[in-house]
Structures are given as C-alpha cells and as structure tokens.
Amino acid sequence: MRQLGEAEIETAAPPPPRVAPSLDPRVARPAASRSKRALDLACVLLASPLLVLLGIVTAALVLITSRGPVLFGQERVGLGGGRFKMYKFRTMHPEAERLLQQDTDLWNEYVVNGFKLPAEIDRRITPVGRFLRRSSLDELPQILNVVAGTMSLVGPRPVVPAEVDNYGAQRVVYLSVRPGITGAWQVNGRSTVDYPDRVAIDTEYVRTWTLWRDVKILARTPFAVLRARGAF
C-alpha cells in the first residue's frame, strides 16, 4: 500500500465535518417538551433507591463472574443525529467486539437480525449475561444517559450508526427525538418486531406523541420485562 509523503499529507484537504440534520418542528415536539423531561427526572428520582440497590447487586454479579469492566459503552445515534455512548452492564466477554468484526458469518447474522444476535447462537455472551438480558437488568445503566439528557425514559430504541439507514424516508422522524430505554416498540415485542414494522411503530409514536402516552408506556414496561418477549 503506497504511503503518503509529507507534502501530500500537508496539502490533503481535511474531511468535511459531519453536520447533523436540522430538526423538523412538526415531529420534534417530544424533544422540545419540558414536561417530558420533567417526567424523566421525576421518575428517576422516585425510583433511585431501588435502582441503586439493583445496580449494586448487578454490578457485583458481573464483577465476580467474569473478567473485564462492569459497564459496556457503545456508540449510538441520538437527537439530531448526534452520537453518544450508551451504557449497559457488560453481558459479554471483553473481546466480544473484536470477535464480531473478525467473524464474517457472525457479522452477517448480526446485520440480518437487526444488528443484534439471538442469545442462543451468540457465543460471546457470558452465563450471567444471558440472565441479565432476559431480565433486562443490563439496561439499568442507561439511567445515566437519561440524567445526562442523551436519552429519555420513553422513545425509539437507540440504534448503532449503520442501522439508521433502515429508517429510510422516516429517518428525520427518528432523529427528531431522544431515543428511549423503553418505548412503543419495546413494549410490543422488541426484537420479535423487525424492520419495516419497527419503523412504522416508532414513526407513529413520534407523530402522535402525548405525555399521557409516555405514562401508559411506562406502566406497561414492567409487564413487558416480565414476559421477556423479544429480549436477547
């Protein structure tokens, strides 16, 4: 492979900056709503004693059953197309990302399955990690994202950059809101509902959003977690 000389490096034009698309005011109401943000913070505050207790127990399980960090952070797409790091309790072996990128068959399966692998074929997941995924306890650290304002309690599921193209013409709708820990897609089957049905569910949620609907989705979430439908 030809190496660039110093002169070429100095004169090469820098890549153009990535510009986030402007928000469509017709669908950006959830992101602009102070009441939605207040609901997020109020729920986190009220649930904080339970969340802290569950977090400590879960972190201890991860720490004593496998080597590596307790938390796992992955780049996701947020409001306006901005990138942020979404946090989870680690459910995989530390070399999981490298294994995925090096195994062509595994990567193809990952893409075909909506950028996620069923637990039964994903050899990267630890035994405790399988339990955390089925119980959704691995999602608890995303409360930090909610507090930071990169996520909401309710909204479309945050996607990896390569996944945004699945939204096609509805991309602007997806980018006009903060992604959520739970949401219309999450309480209606999660990973059992694939694209384009997922796009339709997310788009309908954004375009018809009300604060009362967020409250109803939050109320349905514990039952969806207990059923564990589509959780892997």
For residue 164, give its domain range.
27-91+126-226
Evaluate whether residue 102 is within a structural domain: no
Cβ neighbors of 209 (< 8 A, separation 6 or more) are: 29, 30, 177
- Of 116, 105, 109, 131, the C-alpha closest to 190 is 116
Beta bridge partners of 73: 87
How confident is residue 171, by pLDDT bands cut at 50, 70 and 90? very high
Q: What is the mean pLDDT of the chain?
A: 85
The yes-or-no verdict on residue 60 having pLDDT over 50 is yes
For the chain, the straight-line distance linking the first and the last C-alpha, in angstroms and rounded, comes to 41
- Flag whether pLDDT at 176 surpasses 70: yes
**What is the C-alpha separation between 208 and 215, in angstroms, rounded?**
14
Q: Is 152 in a helix, a strand, or coil?
A: strand
Q: Closest by alpha carbon to 199, among 177, 168, 175? A: 168
**What tens digit of pLDDT does each residue of 87-98 get?**
999 998 887 777
Question: Tens digit of pLDDT for each residue in 139-155?
Answer: 999 999 999 999 999 99
Ranges of H-type helices in the chain: 6-11, 29-32, 34-65, 96-102, 104-112, 127-135, 142-148, 171-175, 197-207, 211-227
Residue 116 counted as domain residue: no
As for how many domains the chain has, the answer is 1
Q: What per-residue confidence (pLDDT) applies to 17?
A: 43
Please say if the pLDDT value at position 111 is more than 50: yes
